[in-house]
């Protein structure tokens, strides 16, 4: 019984680690009305080093559509959305939220990274 539980935990850890990498390579097929927005979310640690942030909530909203995803352990997110204009916002405890407005065309692949600043201390300026 302990072995099965241990295998389930290992399988889950591998899934959440590598699934975002597999999804990140996806491209929206042209002409189906969908577009792909993907990127990395990073922040600064206490030493001032930039690092990927996992479990960041990424929300895409428009006047008729709303989708929320979370970054993987590698800081990557992927949103497959109907073509249109969206407000993309990021939220994670300990960091200042950020947002950006994007317009996606059918079949488009857009890359958009976010660098979040600590909510508690002054972070180095992103470069």
pLDDT tens for residues 50-106?
999 999 999 999 999 999 999 999 999 999 999 999 999 999 999 999 999 999 999
Residue 49 has pLDDT above 60, yes or no: yes
Q: Which fold has domain 2-115?
A: Immunoglobulin-like (2.60.40)
Task: Provide the residue ranges of all domains of the chain, joining segments of one domain with +.
Answer: 2-115
Cβ atoms of 104 and 24 closer than 8 Å: no
Residue 39 has pLDDT above 90, yes or no: yes
* CA–CA separation, 113 and 70 (whole Å): 14
Task: Tell me the whole-structure pTM to 2 decimals.
Answer: 0.70
Quote the tokens at residue 66: 């709303």
Q: Which residue has the tokens 């979310």?
A: 41
The DSSP H or E segment spanning 86 is strand 84-91
Residue of higher predicted confidence among 20 and 69: 69
CA dihedral of residues 26, 29, 35, 38 (deg, nearest 10): 10
Quote the tokens at residue 18: 């590598």
Quote the tokens at residue 93: 């405890």
Residue 11 has pLDDT above 90, yes or no: no
């Amino acid at each position: 019984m302990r072995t099965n539980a241990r295998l389930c935990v290992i399988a889950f850890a591998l899934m959440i680690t590598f699934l975002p990498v597999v999804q990140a390579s996806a491209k929206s097929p042209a002409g189906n009305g969908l577009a792909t927005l993907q990127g990395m979310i990073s922040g600064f640690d206490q030493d001032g080093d930039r690092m990927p942030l996992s479990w960041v909530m990424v929300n895409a909203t428009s006047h008729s559509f709303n989708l929320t995803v979370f970054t993987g352990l590698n800081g990557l997110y992927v949103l497959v959305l109907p073509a249109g204009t969206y407000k993309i916002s990021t939220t994670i405890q300990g960091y200042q939220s950020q947002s950006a407005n994007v317009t996606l065309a059918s079949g488009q692949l857009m890359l958009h990274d976010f660098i979040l600043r600590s909510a508690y201390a002054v972070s180095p300026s992103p470069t």
